Amino acid sequence: MNNQTINISLVDDEILVTQLLSNFLKTIEGFNITSISHDGSEFIGYLNNAKIFPDIVLLDLRMKNVNGLETIEFVRHKFPKIKIISLTSHYQDSNLGYMVKTGVSAFLPKEISPDKLVQVIKDVAQRGFYFSPEQLEILRKQLSNRLPEPAITLTGLNKISDKELLVLKYLCNQLTSTEIAEKMDISNRTVDGHRNNLYVKTGVKNLAGLIIFAAKHKLINLDECELFTLTDRS
């Protein structure tokens, strides 16, 4: 999404928070605020009638009526292309693995600095997720032993194919669909098909979960994965 507008929705029951976030993010070149909602039901109503859909939603967890987790579940099922950043005052490291499995692209405390939030939004728009080096270490420990077994086995006709595994390794090293397509001499659509097959076969919902699942089953080595050897730019 380089040099393209990033459409952002804000969902938080604290009116002051949404006003401050909106005022700040509007000053960032390339950011566009598409909607402001104060609970999950209001945001769901917006999505069901939207003319412009957000690329990213900044979402609180604890809200009246429809809370953050219920909203995440709805978005993941009905609007899977929307990336979710959970921005909450109830942040706990112990919940990180669970939040990844719900399908969020980033899990942040509200104490995050404005500049860092801007960088996270850009990273999520470009790569699909953001986790700090400290969070990645936590994820290694939490998800390596707790990821659910896939609904479809990895043996026989349903095993991960060589091409799917190659796509996984390229994704792990931050290649875009276009770059992967060029390397494998296939179309972008075929790359997306391989990636979707990986999600189905592993039972996970996002790239971070997919990579850790693959590491657990020794399909890749995390130490050779660029996404898990990044240094924090803050």
In the structure encoding, which two tokens stand for residue 101, read together? 């499995």
Residue 145, SS3 per DSSP: coil
Are residues 175 and 183 in contact, defined by beta-carbon separation less than 8 angstroms? yes
| Per-residue model confidence as pLDDT tens digits over 121-175 | 998 998 888 888 788 777 777 655 554 544 434 443 357 888 888 888 887 776 7
Q: Which residue(s) pair with 106 in the sheet?
A: 85
Long-range contact set of residues 127-131: C-beta below 8 Å, sequence gap at least 24: 127/174, 127/207, 127/227, 128/83, 128/206, 128/207, 129/83, 129/105, 129/206, 129/207, 129/208, 130/85, 130/105, 130/106, 131/106, 131/107, 131/208
Place of tokens 């799917």: 164
Q: Which residue(s) pair with 97 in the sheet?
A: none
pLDDT of residue 153: 44
Model pTM score: 0.67
pLDDT of residue 222: 60
Regions of the chain where pLDDT drops below 50:
1, 147, 149-157, 229-234
Q: How far is CA 175 from CA 103, 119, 156, 170, in A?
A: 21, 19, 29, 6
Are residues 100 and 147 in contact, defined by beta-carbon separation less than 8 angstroms? no
Contacts of 131 (CB under 8 A, 6+ apart): 106, 107, 139, 208
Do the bridges between strand 83-88 and strand 31-37 make them parallel or antiparallel, or are there none, so unpaired? Answer: unpaired
Which domains are seen in the chain, by residue range? 6-130 (3.40.50.2300), 142-228 (1.10.10.10)
pLDDT of residue 93: 83
Q: Which is it for the CA torsion 104, 108, 113, 114, positive or negative? A: positive
